[in-house]
Structure 1
């Protein structure tokens, strides 16, 4: 995938300066309102008991929005407390958390912060019109290009800004500095600032690894998160729960903590902190976000997908006769398959199994095919989609699937409320064992648990009759009116399928 153009360094520098100033204004509001009795007395809750919102939340976001709007009036502003504003086609979008850690703020604990992040819209060259310009329907990606987190009571600031390189965070600079309400925020080149790099902290804490973890507000949500934590604990020496996701991620970025993990958090919770950690060189995995719901884990630092526990356990039998493309028929142990979340540890294995499966089925003649080269970029795919893997009892990856939401580069036909299955592959050695069907059933069951998801959709080539019959066997309905043309391959039209999941699949569902 090639990007249409890059932003000049001067524009990114301007945007970063505004991000610093906006976060500074919000932090000053919090510092001034801290401890005021009327702020605490009028605190209210939102989604559940403990999910606080105060006058300070709203006043901080108003100050941040006013600061940004005065300098970049057309940019899109999104945040926790107020609706989105600005030109929906603007190149830059701001994501604001005016007070991350409101419960701490209300109860007199120091771990709360202002979080401001900026994403830039980038179009793909192959999708531009003949004059090289995008249209309203041109697919695009958003890449985070700036992030600032200020913890007023801790008097600390963390920040990062990308360079003009389109790889964004891979060429960004992250730093930390003391924050003072009376002085302008320090820049990266200030002698009092400290550059953040993952290499500087490699092994700095020895074997005593500390995990930062978070919990949601709903009782059922906390129960699931507690179960997940019990699986993570054996891989760390201790756990901290500070109450601010942004601060947690920044403490990983500056080497204070070793890793961070949490599910079901909103974009404004992770936008700035995850970008700062990524800019510092730490592995980062963000959940999918559709402006209403979050899907998957937010991970910073070294967290293996195997530690997160299974999404589903699949038993296909003790042994199974399989067709081995290299050596002919044979037997493998096909029992004890686990469907789980993928992380960066799995990128290489996912790339290998995808290549083997596509070449084995004859989709392409060579791994050098441009599309094969595109799907081999697994790390890039994880930026825009949710990846799951199937793993056998020997920790071998034997299957994988990519799940995408509407608007993603990896969604051909998904609409609101739909999750699109892409690149569903099973290792050739495990094909025709029943594993593929059981994985589809597990994926559908998983999709049915996701809030707001009513249907799973997918496409396949209409001349691949075994695939057509396979999906129909597992309850997918052919939807010819939604077939998708592929501009890169003239004459190719993919066949569309869909299946209701969760409550939408119940007999009386409308």
Structure 2
């Protein structure tokens, strides 16, 4: 696809950061790791990847704001634009040698995501989208699944770990959803869950307790692939509620009704 200057910068930053991540992934047993809390770890590779992305993006667009997982937010001179970055989504997978993790970069303009990149370096899959321009995987256009029946659909989610407070609600979600579907997957990388919805590999995805950097790029990629996204609560925003539902348009309403049931 022929992307804008901003999208090309984002793709270049994702690939550059990923080179360092891939190098360390091959020697994952030697990584020095510091704990950020039960079940949630950050590696030197993670921090280095964010530094690389930040230097590249802010170097090209110094007036934009910044929101990243591993660093303090920056209010840009241009208050209408900011980068939203997860340098290593799927950190726990990465540290266990599981090749399912990604670099996620989004550009927000006036509160709306207008460009997104999710790069799965282990598989060399680059998911990208710009508002109004469609979504693509390695230059091939993406479309969500056309399955219409919940019983034929596969869904993805994230399961709480380390005593996180979302566990009771998620267990109720699973109790309602599992009997009505072809299955639920928990792969451990929110950005890739959304990318897979956009690619038609999953029919839907939901999660509680997410952060903006987990899902910002993926939300746009799903929309541009013909899917729908929203918060778990019928009102409010995804970022404020820290919840998300995404699915193809045929299944979204039934899926959302099932998850939102009390």
Q: How many residues align?
A: 251
Q: Which runs of 5+ in 2 are unaligned?
A: none
Cα deviations across residues 5-58 of structure 1 (Å, max 9, x unaligned)? xxxxx9x81111111111112211211211325653x22222x31111111110
Give SS of 1:283's match.
strand
Give the match for residue 245 of structure 2: 299
Taking the aligned partners of 1:205 and 1:33, their CA distance within structure 2 comes to 42
Decide whether aligned partners of structure 1 residues 205 and 25 sit closer, same or farther in structure 2, where only a CA change above 3 A counts.
farther
1:45 is aligned to 2:14: no
Of 192, 205, 220, 1:247 maps to 192
**1:149 alignment counterpart:** 118
- Alignment match, 1:340: none
Q: How far apart, CA to CA, are the structure 1 residues paired with 2:149 and 2:15?
A: 31
Corresponding residue for residue 16 of structure 1: 7
Report if aligned partners of 1:231, 1:309 keep a CA contact under 8 Å in 2: no
Q: 1:57 corresponds to which residue?
A: 46
Counterpart of 2:137 in structure 1 is: 176
SS at match of 1:108: coil
Aligned counterpart, 2:127:
158
Asked if structure 1 preserves the Cα contact closer than 8 Å seen for 2:197 and 2:222, the reply is yes
CA distance in 1, matches of 2:256, 2:193: 20
Find out whether 1:308 has 2:256 as its counterpart: no
CA distance in 2, matches of 1:104, 1:154: 14
1:101 aligns with 2:70: no
Task: Find the aligned partners of 1:23 and 1:240 in 2 and give their Cα distance.
Answer: 26
Distance 1:194 1:43, change over 3 A: same
- Distance in structure 2 (CA, Å) of the matches to 1:94 and 1:249: 19
Residues 97/226 of structure 1: CA separation in 2 closer, same or farther (3 Å cut): same
Correspondence for 1:492: none
Change (3 A) 1:102 1:235: same
In the superposition, the TM-score normalised over structure 2's length comes to 0.88
Corresponding position of 1:138: none
What whole-Å deviation, never above 9, does each CA across 1:125-144 have from its counterpart, x for those lacking one?
xxxxxxxxxxxxxxxxx111
Pair 1:115-2:84 in alignment? no
Indicate the RMSD between aligned Cα atoms, in angstroms: 2.3
2:183 is the counterpart of 1:214: no
Shift of 1:309: 4.5
Residues 37 and 27 (structure 1), Cα distance of their counterparts in 2 relative to 1, 3 Å cut = closer
Is 2:179 aligned against 1:234? yes
Structure 1: distance between partners of 2:256 and 2:200:
22
Cα-to-partner distance string for 1:223-280 (whole Å, 9 max, x where unaligned): 3312222112123111111000011111110111111011110000010111101111
Tell me the secondary structure at the aligned position of residue 166 of structure 2: helix
Q: Are the equivalent residues in 2 in contact too, given 1:73–1:86 (CA < 8 A)?
A: no
2: distance between equivalents of 1:93 and 1:283? 23
Preserved CA contact (<8 Å) 1:117 1:148? yes
> How many Å separate the matches in 1 of 2:100 and 2:142?
21
Q: Is the 8 A contact 1:80 1:97 kept in 2?
A: yes
Q: CA–CA distance in 1 between the matches of 2:149 and 2:94?
A: 30
Q: In the TM superposition, what is the alpha-carbon distance from 1:308 to its structure 2 partner?
A: 1.5
Any unmatched runs of 5+ in structure 1? 1-9, 122-141, 163-170, 178-192, 312-510
Query: Higher relative CO (CA 8 A, sep ≥ 6), structure 1 or 2?
Result: 2
In structure 1, what is the Cα distance between the partners aligned to 2:150 and 2:208?
Answer: 27
Change over 3 Å in CA distance of 1:257–1:298 after alignment to 2: same
Counterpart for residue 91 of structure 1: 80
TM-score of the superposed pair, with normalisation by structure 1: 0.46
Does residue 1:28 correspond to 2:13, yes or no? no
Residue 206 of structure 1 deviates from its aligned partner by 9.8
Partner of 2:213: 268
Q: Which moved more, 1:219-228 or 1:107-116?
A: 219-228
Do 1:120 and 1:143's aligned partners in 2 also have CA atoms closer than 8 Å?
yes
User: Per the alignment, do residues 231 and 205 of structure 1 end up closer, same or farther by CA in structure 2, a change over 3 Å counting?
Assistant: closer
Question: 4+ residue runs of structure 1 moved beyond 4 angstroms?
Answer: 204-207
Structure (1/2) with the larger helix percentage: 2
